[in-house]
Homo-oligomer: A and B are copies of this chain.
Amino acid sequence: MSFTHVVTFAWAQDSDAARDPAVVDGIAAALRAFVDEADLAGLRSWTCGRDAGLATGNADFAVVAVFDDVDAYTAYRDHPEHRRIIDEQIAHRVGGRSAVQFAG
């Protein structure tokens, strides 16, 4: 049984991320570089992306990561580089966030 982490972000309306897709692309690139370079044991798949605009009221950005188990997820969650990207590039830009981690 795998373990899935899902998080969606709605950018704060006054944030540069809400105005400038390049800012969000920079966040995505930093996260992808981390995932590629950190050689995370137990990471099965990792994707992220900007909302495609198919529905009103959607959030703006999402990350989906699938792991072998909870331990592999928590190692990802607590990795210093993951924390750094969140602290430096994401946290101050977020208006709303919704996350679920589930077995499956």
Copies in the assembly, this chain = 2
Chain A residues with a Cβ under 8 A of chain B: 3-4, 6, 8, 10, 47-52, 54-55, 57-62, 64, 70, 73-74, 96, 98-104
Q: Nearest-CB distance from A47 to chain B (Å)?
A: 4
Whether the Cβ atoms of A101 and B54 lie closer than 8 Å is yes
Whether the Cβ atoms of B100 and A8 lie closer than 8 Å is yes
Whether the Cβ atoms of A62 and B6 lie closer than 8 Å is yes
Q: Which residues of B contact A74 (CB under 8 A)?
A: 54
The docked-state distance in angstroms from the alpha carbon of A1 to that of B19 is 25
Which of A60, A61, A70, A98 has most B Cβ within 10 Å? A98
Q: Nearest-CB distance from A4 to chain B (Å)?
A: 6
